[in-house]
Structure 1
Amino acid sequence: MLKEISVRRLTPGMYVSLRNVPWFRHPFLRSSFEIKNREEVREIIAIGRETVLYDPEKSKAEPLKADSRIKVDAATAKSAVSHSRMKFEKASELRARRVKFQRMEENFEKAVVESRVFMSGVMSGEVARCEEAKKTALQMSRVFLEETEMCVSFINASATDDGQEFHSLNVMTLSLMLGADLGYDAESMADLAFGGLMHDIGLLKLPKGLQIKPNRSPAETKMFQEHPRLGVSVLSRMPDISRDVMKIVYQHHEECTGRGYPKGATKAGIIPPARIVAIADTYDRLINTRDPSKAVSPHKALALMFGKYKDRFDPDMLTRFIKILGVYPPGTVCRFTSGDIGVIMSVDPKDLLHPEVILFDPAIPKHEAIIYRLGIDLDIVVESTLRPDELDAEAFNYLNSRTKIQYYPSPCGH
């Protein structure tokens, strides 16, 4: 609970909120923070407000018993101006990250539209559409091969349809991320991309009601489990589909334990690219269920895959997959040690301790929200994870915590 207090009773260790002060009117990068020293107290006084808000629960120090006689001299004013200049220079750098994400969102929306068109075309037997799908997959595979360091990022595309193309694009992206980490060459990456994109094409041969039905009868389950065979049947009408692509489509529901389908193959009988797609497919199905209330957070999904479902997957591939995404994968909504709430936007596999995040800050307009790097721009860490439905409406809308989590590749840039 925030309380109003005289600025002259502030002391280092108190957690203050300047949310009632326009962001451009104070010298601090964030509007809510713990006061570190007496100089920051002076700079708050220099803003010209008689009172500010503070949070007793987050504060490490009690307010002064009485107003202090701290004077705001020329040196303090000069320091505040200097900090303001540094703040706006830093803010410009941080907002450049926002532009990067906006470009990714535009590219993703374009890919969704294209995927919807060529998947429909492949189902209709249109060779030209199949070639377009191959081209899209090839371009995506080259992104991972040509960039020396790639991050997978959480994006908030404006598209609202949650059709098959969303899942297919996620599976392709996540599969390529793992394939690149395993050192796949250009040909293998191209097959992995196309196989990931087309892995569930057979589902489109099934009645829509059966695809989304939560509790299927034994007969319906048997029919549903035919979709890998149906996918191979669809692609067999297309020219120049590689053996590995066919195997990916056919084997992406097989498990290393032999309890998968359609053949019940064990690890030795499942080609490595299909094992990769099986991991990506399971992860995406856990975080993006058709019933949002049953979806788990990305953090929880990895915990389930490494715990309850561990035996299903190639152990080395699963370990690498988890290492690449980090403990808190993109899209994870978190509460931080500062008490702030935010969402993980991007992780660098080579620097997992410093993910990019957006924090809920009503003092900064949503469209100008700053993307920070933990441990570099902000000295805070994750305290716990949250489900999007645990947020209040204001925080939910600010963070764009959608019920669907989409991923897209981007060059890692610091």
Structure 2
Amino acid sequence: MTATANRLLLKIDALRLGMFVQLDLGWMNHPFPRSRFKLDDPAQIATLRQLGVLEVLVRPDLSDPVAFADSAHDAGHVAAAEPAPSGDTAAAIPTPAAATAAADSSPLRRRMLEPCSQREPLRAGDPTLAMRRAQLGRERDSLARSERLHAQASRAWLGITRDAVNNPTGAHHAALLLADGLVDELLGDDDTTIRVLSEAAGTAASQHALNVTVLSLLLGRSLGLDEATMQTLALGALLHDIGKLLLPDHLRNADASNGALLLRERREHVAQGARLGLAMGLQAAALQVISQHHEQHDGSGLPLGLAGNAIAMPARVVALVDTYDRLCNPMAGQPLRTPHEAQALLFAHMRKQLDPAVLAAFIKLLGVYPPGSVVQLNDERLALVVAVHPQRPLKPSVVVHDPRVPRDEALIVHLQQEPGLGIRRSLHPQHLPRAVVDYLSPRERVSYYFAHGLEPAVTATHGQAA
């Protein structure tokens, strides 16, 4: 069994009715209405077995306490019937707090985080080496899961765009499924982080749509939007640029340096998006997002020059995130900004155009150094920000440049667990030595997705749940 701050990874045999589970499966790969739910029928566990699921994430804080009492009781009988190997003892199921405390106090983990100038080479048999490999495995699993679900969402989005013109009803149904799945992915876990993915994730069009949707949902949650509004936000964000499907190539691929052409492109794709949304049968709230995502808080936007509260809240959210992502992942003719530069530009030069409450929540969500930023730590080491926890934005997770560690074995350092370690400043990749750029691999096109279970975990053995 593996424990993190508020999750347990249990083998299928350890599941009991009353446990709240989180399935590590895409929403299209299982028959349940949601990916997160409380087990209340033995048939649900049987279905998981039939799907070939071997381990399941369980939320103790959302589960019935008696479920864990039953699990511990049954595991105790197994341990008695099959004694552990010599030297091993059966451990009680650790509480999440105990697991976190054990991880934080580990001298092995402290040694793993020593600056490379102070660290001796790891030798075979060194327990630090085993711990490093175990943590690396968890990090790779977390990244692989995020990239797998992102790729699945990207394929679903591309299917929606293929069907939108000739089969609008089918495209609407597929878009609802995708939106519901993304909302469920986020709302089912309070410990969700924002993870930067590899540059190869999805196409440029699907990457932008999913970036806007993922960040909009995280921002919507931080603003306290209810679940119904979050569903509207997800659907509108996914389809905010759907009108581009009906544009001629010279408009769809307009050079952003041509201001008049860009203005025409925006007017046209908003109008065509509203038309296509009506054909798909979208509800009015989702249509508002498509129609208003280029409106601006000060009334300088288009197509209607709406201002302030006349712009629907989901549209205000999408307008900000769309602007941010276009700065990080620009159209032809626009300069490329780092995530840190993009956020600074929003605050310094675009505040009048953006809802101040939404902008403040966005900066708080991503922190000063959003995922994808290259930074210098206060111990002089260079690092790449790879994940930010919305509740701890000033202490992101980073990959640290360490020439003594192979690039594919570089560990993620979680700054929230290192009180004395922080970020001194952001750096532009072009100012770094080539060897550092090759090691950290900062993305030219930044792609985001949700991540779960990124923080280090403590492993404990307990009967069959080991």
TM-score category of the 2 structures, normalised to the smaller one: 0.7 to 0.9
- Whether the aligned pair in 1 keeps the contact of 2:255 and 2:333 (CA below 8 Å) is no
* TM-score, structure 1 as length reference: 0.76
Percent identity over paired residues: 29
Partner of 1:339: 380
Partner of 2:116: 33
Question: 1: CA distance between counterparts of 2:443 and 2:326?
Answer: 15
1:300-379 equivalences under 5 Å are 300-374=341-415, 376=417, 379=420
> Unaligned regions of 5+ residues in structure 2, if any?
1-109, 456-466
Question: 2: CA distance between counterparts of 1:300 and 1:220?
Answer: 23
1:2-401 equivalences under 5 Å are 29=112, 32-35=115-118, 44=120, 84-86=126-128, 88-159=130-201, 161-162=203-204, 164-210=205-251, 211-216=253-258, 218=260, 221-239=263-281, 241-291=282-332, 294-374=335-415, 376=417, 379-401=420-442
Instruction: Render the CA deviation track for 1:329-354: whole Å, top value 9, x for unaligned.
Output: 11111122333222111111222343
Question: 2: CA distance between counterparts of 1:223 and 1:216?
Answer: 11
Q: Which amino acid aligns with 2:451?
A: S
- Whether the aligned pair in 2 keeps the contact of 1:226 and 1:262 (CA below 8 Å) is no
Q: Does 1:406 align with 2:447?
A: yes
- Whether the aligned pair in 2 keeps the contact of 1:98 and 1:370 (CA below 8 Å) is no
Partner of 1:11: none
- Whether the aligned pair in 2 keeps the contact of 1:152 and 1:409 (CA below 8 Å) is yes
Question: 2: CA distance between counterparts of 1:334 and 1:216?
Answer: 34
Instruction: Render the CA deviation track for 1:239-282: whole Å, top value 9, x for unaligned.
Output: 3x111100000000101110000000011210111101111111
Secondary structure (helix, strand or coil) at the match of 1:327 reads coil
Partner of 1:59: none
Secondary structure (helix, strand or coil) at the match of 1:124 reads coil
Secondary structure (helix, strand or coil) at the match of 1:212 reads coil
Q: Which amino acid aligns with 2:316?
A: R
Q: Which amino acid aligns with 1:246?
A: L
Secondary structure (helix, strand or coil) at the match of 1:286 reads helix
Distance change >3 Å, CA 264–CA 293, structure 1 → 2: closer
Question: 1: CA distance between counterparts of 2:132 and 2:333?
Answer: 37
Secondary structure (helix, strand or coil) at the match of 1:346 reads strand
Question: 2: CA distance between counterparts of 1:293 and 1:225?
Answer: 19
Instruction: Render the CA deviation track for 1:46-71: whole Å, top value 9, x for unaligned.
Output: x7xxxxxxxxxxxxxxxxxxxxxxxx
Instruction: Render the CA deviation track for 1:14-56: whole Å, top value 9, x for unaligned.
Output: xxxxxxxxxxxxx953685354xxxx7xxx5xx7xxxxxxxxx
Question: 2: CA distance between counterparts of 1:286 and 1:191?
Answer: 25
Instruction: Render the CA deviation track for 1:88-145: whole Å, top value 9, x for unaligned.
Output: 3255235412321122112212222221221121133442233112201111011222
Q: Which amino acid aligns with 1:296?
A: R
Task: Name which structure has the greater RCO, CA cutoff 8 Å, separation 6+.
Answer: 2
Question: 2: CA distance between counterparts of 1:95 and 1:220?
Answer: 46
Question: 1: CA distance between counterparts of 2:144 and 2:126?
Answer: 26
Partner of 2:63: none
Q: Which amino acid aligns with 2:445?
A: K
Question: 1: CA distance between counterparts of 2:225 and 2:292?
Answer: 19
Q: Which amino acid aligns with 1:236?
A: L
Q: Which amino acid aligns with 2:450?
A: P
| 1:165, distance to aligned residue in structure 2 (A) | 1.2
Secondary structure (helix, strand or coil) at the match of 1:277 reads helix
Q: Which amino acid aligns with 1:312?
A: Q
Distance change >3 Å, CA 82–CA 363, structure 1 → 2: closer
User: How many positions carry a matched residue from both structures?
Assistant: 345
- Whether the aligned pair in 1 keeps the contact of 2:142 and 2:453 (CA below 8 Å) is no
Secondary structure (helix, strand or coil) at the match of 2:395 reads strand
| 1:157, distance to aligned residue in structure 2 (A) | 4.9
| 1:384, distance to aligned residue in structure 2 (A) | 2.1
Question: 2: CA distance between counterparts of 1:377 and 1:96?
Answer: 19
Partner of 2:93: none
Which of structures 1 and 2 has the bigger CA Rg?
1
Distance change >3 Å, CA 378–CA 316, structure 1 → 2: closer
Question: 2: CA distance between counterparts of 1:374 and 1:260?
Answer: 39
- Whether the aligned pair in 2 keeps the contact of 1:288 and 1:405 (CA below 8 Å) is yes
| 1:316, distance to aligned residue in structure 2 (A) | 1.0
Q: Which amino acid aligns with 1:344?
A: V
Question: 1: CA distance between counterparts of 2:332 and 2:445?
Answer: 10
| 1:312, distance to aligned residue in structure 2 (A) | 1.0
Q: Which amino acid aligns with 1:383?
A: R
Question: 1: CA distance between counterparts of 2:433 and 2:275?
Answer: 47
| 1:401, distance to aligned residue in structure 2 (A) | 1.7
Instruction: Render the CA deviation track for 1:312-339: whole Å, top value 9, x for unaligned.
Output: 1111111011101111111111122333
